[in-house]
Amino acid sequence: MKSFLRKDGRKGIRNVLIVAYLVECAHHVARAIVNRSDDPAVQLIGFPGCFPNDYALRIMQALGTHPNVGGVLLVSLGCEGFNREALAGAIRASGRPVATLVIQQTGGTRKTIEAGLAAVMDMKTRIASVKRVEMTLDELVVGTICGGSDGTSGISANPAVGKCFDQLVRDGATCIFEETGELIGCEQVMMERAVTPGLAKEIEQAVVKAVHYYKTMGYGSFAPGNAEGGLTTQEEKSMGAYAKSGSSRIHGLIKPGDAPRQGGLYLMDVVPDGEPRFGFPNISDNAEIVELIASGCHVILFTTGRGSVAGSAISPVIKICANPETWKNMADDMDVDAGRIIEGEADLDEVGGEIYQRVQAVAAGSQSKSEALGHQEFILTYKSFEPIGPACLPAH
């Protein structure tokens, strides 16, 4: 498959130009620039907070230098706490074109929109000539998330993704599953799959942290919609979510923004470190998608039983539908019908193979359903993380 070769040596499957607002006060101006550009490859991301946050800066730096991103326009109000110089510097150091507009210095809304449109046109011309090179499966990074889960998720779509992950890992690809808050009760089975005893301990501690966090918040990763869909306990939901990981050995534990050093299967810990300070850690599925993309995912596999229409900016989202009834109702938003497993029309290996083929097709340039429908959802809020320890990415 053909890819876009970046000056930092990374390869992308898309050539996106992102317009990023650095505070909510600049959101409208940035959105107007994107809307008036009228190009699906010009996409909007941003951080709403006015106060500085190391996590937000880290994630925005990772997104601005993502292999699917060709260039970046930053839109700042001017008085927010976000370190726009550090963000622009990181993007520039990666060899990507970057421009910064400060609304308070540019002359307000209309003048900044006009300047932004000119900057976007200039960057589109510059990134149109990015070199295309071959990319192999062992260079691909794939993430997975489940959302709108129900009683069918853990017996059709999720284990089918696990089958796909097993094949991708055999191919040398990097696969990332998450999240520790939805894997409570699965720590022992995950520990048994860790490549080293030290990593096993890190996985256990990450789940213990998630239990403490949710107990303090008084609410776990279990929504009313999960119960309405037939799930009865957090543990039942966890086992279904766990099935997405397949059966390969777990090569490492990462946190949002950490890029795995080599191929294999990785668990992402998305629950913040320390005592709860910023509310619920995953206020929507899109927040977790953003974190997976920040860790380098070219493609996201999204399983759903109840149904979800969400996509994402930067990296395409492939929807795997677990429930036959949901497929009948929402087929226009779904890429793969895993409900056929429940109806006896296919087995896990067949659907896993279909997902595997779909990953390759999307990586080669075919649009996923959410891409074709124009979905480019994005959300980033405050969090806090400590760096991972040496046992989290063991040498092997």
Residue 215: predicted pLDDT:
86
Mean local confidence (pLDDT), 323-339: 97
| Fold (CATH) for 2-133 | Rossmann fold (3.40.50)
Q: What is the pLDDT of residues 49-81, one digit of tens each?
A: 999 999 999 999 999 999 999 999 999 999 999
Does 184 or 28 have the greater pLDDT score? 28
40-56: pLDDT as tens digits? 999 999 999 999 999 99
| pLDDT of 136 above 90 | yes
The average pLDDT across 152-163 equals: 93
Cβ atoms of 60 and 117 closer than 8 Å: no
Query: Mean pLDDT across the chain, nearest whole number?
Result: 93
Rounded CA-CA distance 316/68 in Å is 10
Residues of the chain with CATH 3.40.50.2300: 2-133
Does residue 323 carry a pLDDT above 70?
yes
| Structure confidence at residue 390 (pLDDT) | 95
Tell me the pLDDT tens digit for each residue of 158-201: 999 999 999 999 999 999 999 888 888 889 999 999 999 999 99
Instruction: Write down the pLDDT at residue 283.
Output: 79
How much is the pLDDT for 342? Answer: 94
Assign 232 a pLDDT band (cuts: 50, 70, 90): low
Rounded average pLDDT over 357-376:
98
Q: Identify the pLDDT of residue 229.
A: 53
Q: Is the Cβ–Cβ distance between 147 and 310 less than 8 Å?
A: yes
- pLDDT single digits (tens) 212-225: 998 888 766 655 55
Q: For position 282, what pLDDT does the model report?
A: 78
